[in-house]
Amino acid sequence: MSFVAILNALFRWKSDRVGSTSVFTFRFLGLLLFRKFENELLRAYRLLCCSKVSTKCSTVDSRDLMDECRRRATILVFDAALGGGADVYFRRFKDVELEERNVLRVQYVRQAKCYVFSLFAGLKQSPRVLVVKNLNELLHFIPQLHLDQILVNSLVSWRKLKDVLGLLSQISKNGVKIVFCLHDYYSFCPAINLLKQDRFCSVSTADCFNCPAAGDRKILDWRWMWGQFLSLDVSEILVFSHSSKKLLLEAYPDLHIKIKLKPHYVPSLRKCFIEPHTGINIAVVGRINNAAKGRDFLNSLEKVIATHAEVNLIVIGAYNKVDAATVVVGNYDRDELPQLLEKYRADIILIPSVCPETFSYTTSEAMLMGLPVACFDLGAQAERVSEYAEGLILKSFEPDVVLREIVDFVKAQSE
């Protein structure tokens, strides 16, 4: 074994970035030695057992925050700190709400083990930040706020969820309206994406017993906890596709009265104009960094593509490729998408997600650009692709069959 291989076996470092959030970790024999977490609000460092959190914005103390909530109507948003579609939704929601009221966002930042309040009091003002170190302090502080409404945007990764839902229940009984957003399936299952062995496993609890994806949290207890909250404390449930509405009603049949279908707003993108070329170029757009988004499937597809000289795979986004011939562009700006797809002469955009998306911004963007789109028969992505003139619903999850379907479709489109 070479010296470099020995070092790689002993030490592991990883750098990851999602939007304005970056995480760097350094491990020795699996033990975390150092971690740096940074987003637009704070920096958090951990060296062995020691940690430090510092804010990047101006701060606000608890008394001033309470005064601000009394002076102007305020909506409190419970949210994760994981980026993605829920974060995109919050930013657009915030800009609309700020015309009439304050927006106060509270997030649990798992990497920093703290709760962060961000007070937005005007469109042109930077947020002011309050960091709370433990849940008990949070549970004591929030009931003192004068709130106009609560939006539960995402509770993924929040600790002691039962206590958090209990707090929300207490607030709702004081007459504060609670709106819940179905950005993910965390309210159905701790596995979030409804995957078992990297395949969609359905919503039926009959398939859930002894499932390793749910860990040690019994699914019936989980469903009962969430069911109580959604049925008794939530006034309105926002869903972003017919598909996610259907799944929600399979899990909780009595919630139909509370559901409001409201697809996300997707800003326009110009049409792509692909120059004539030889071969077939399959493009994938977005961060393909976990099994649910199709990472493992794409790894297998790469190996099949390697045996087809006329087919190329281009990933516009973050992805760890397994074949040297695969082109990975890395992070990109949304407005650059048409130009990048034209540069690599994309014939079709593949949505490799193996879970049912609740909306899928990427699918909407692909259709806006006028390119053919292929996806599995799952979720919101299939809901829209099935109604798209240049859409392909894949009939198999086997990489060789998928490649054959795509190649045949692209050739038929060009005839």
Give the pTM. 0.86
Structure tokens at 179: 């709106």
Structure tokens at 315: 């990933």
Q: Cα separation of 318 and 300, whole Å?
A: 17
Q: What is the DSSP string of 316-330?
A: ES----SSTTSEE--
- 19: pLDDT strictly greater than 60: no
- Neighbouring residues of 44: CB distance < 8 A, sequence distance ≥ 6: 35, 36, 37, 38, 51, 52, 53, 54, 109, 111, 112, 114
* Predicted local confidence at residue 354, as pLDDT: 94
Q: Side chain identity at 206, as an amino acid letter?
A: A
Q: How many other C-beta atoms can be found within 10 angstroms of the C-beta atom of residue 75?
A: 24
Mean pLDDT of 163-173: 92
Question: pLDDT class for 349, splitting at 50, 70, 90?
Answer: very high
308-336 per-position pLDDT tens digit: 999 999 999 989 899 999 999 988 999 99
Task: List, in order of start, the domains of the chain with CATH numbers.
Answer: 3-53 (no CATH), 62-261 (3.40.50), 280-414 (3.40.50.2000)
* Predicted local confidence at residue 1, as pLDDT: 56
- 215: pLDDT strictly greater than 60: no
DSSP 175: T
Burial class (CB in 10 A: 0-12, 13-18, 19+), 232: exposed
- 75: pLDDT strictly greater than 80: yes
List C-alpha distances in Å: 232 to 30, 71, 236, 252.
44, 30, 11, 12
Mean of the per-residue pLDDT values of the chain: 86
Q: At what angle do helices 161-172 and 219-228 cross, to 10 degrees?
A: 20
Is the CB of residue 338 less than 8 Å from the CB of residue 270? yes
Mean pLDDT of 80-103: 90
* Predicted local confidence at residue 132, as pLDDT: 85
Beta bridge partners of 79: 107
* Predicted local confidence at residue 90, as pLDDT: 93
Residue 343, phi then psi, degrees to nearest 5: -60, -45
- 385: pLDDT strictly greater than 70: yes
Percent of the chain with pLDDT over 90: 56
- 341: pLDDT strictly greater than 90: yes
Residue 338 in 3-state DSSP?
Answer: helix
Is the CB of residue 311 less than 8 Å from the CB of residue 343? no
Mean pLDDT of 261-269: 92
Question: CA dihedral in degrees (39, 40, 41, 42; nearest 10)?
Answer: 40
Residue 405: name the closest of 311, 341, 337 by CA. Answer: 311
Is the CB of residue 57 less than 8 Å from the CB of residue 128? yes
Q: How many other C-beta atoms can be found within 10 angstroms of the C-beta atom of residue 296?
A: 15
Is the CB of residue 131 less than 8 Å from the CB of residue 81? no
Question: pLDDT class for 16, splitting at 50, 70, 90?
Answer: low
278-299 per-position pLDDT tens digit: 999 999 999 898 889 999 999 9
* Predicted local confidence at residue 57, as pLDDT: 60
* Predicted local confidence at residue 274, as pLDDT: 93
Mean pLDDT of 226-247: 96
Burial class (CB in 10 A: 0-12, 13-18, 19+), 333: exposed
- 246: pLDDT strictly greater than 90: yes
* Predicted local confidence at residue 13, as pLDDT: 60
- 48: pLDDT strictly greater than 70: no
Mean pLDDT of 31-49: 64
- 214: pLDDT strictly greater than 80: no
Mean pLDDT of 23-47: 64
H or E element, residue 376:
strand 373-376
* Predicted local confidence at residue 38, as pLDDT: 63
Structure tokens at 263: 């697809």
Could you tell me the strand order of the sheet in which 373-376 lies?
A: 327-328, 311-316, 280-285, 348-351, 373-376, 391-394
Mean pLDDT of 211-240: 85
Q: Cα separation of 184 and 355, whole Å?
A: 10
- 37: pLDDT strictly greater than 80: no
List C-alpha distances in Å: 196 to 213, 215, 216, 306.
6, 12, 15, 28
- Neighbouring residues of 339: CB distance < 8 A, sequence distance ≥ 6: none
Structure tokens at 27: 């491990």
> Which range, of 29-33, 92-96, 123-127, 225-229, averages the lowest pLDDT?
29-33
* Predicted local confidence at residue 130, as pLDDT: 87
List C-alpha distances in Å: 240 to 237, 260, 333, 383.
10, 9, 24, 11
Residue 146: name the closest of 84, 68, 216, 91 by CA. Answer: 68
Residue 122 in 3-state DSSP?
Answer: coil
* Predicted local confidence at residue 191, as pLDDT: 79
Is the CB of residue 338 less than 8 Å from the CB of residue 269? yes
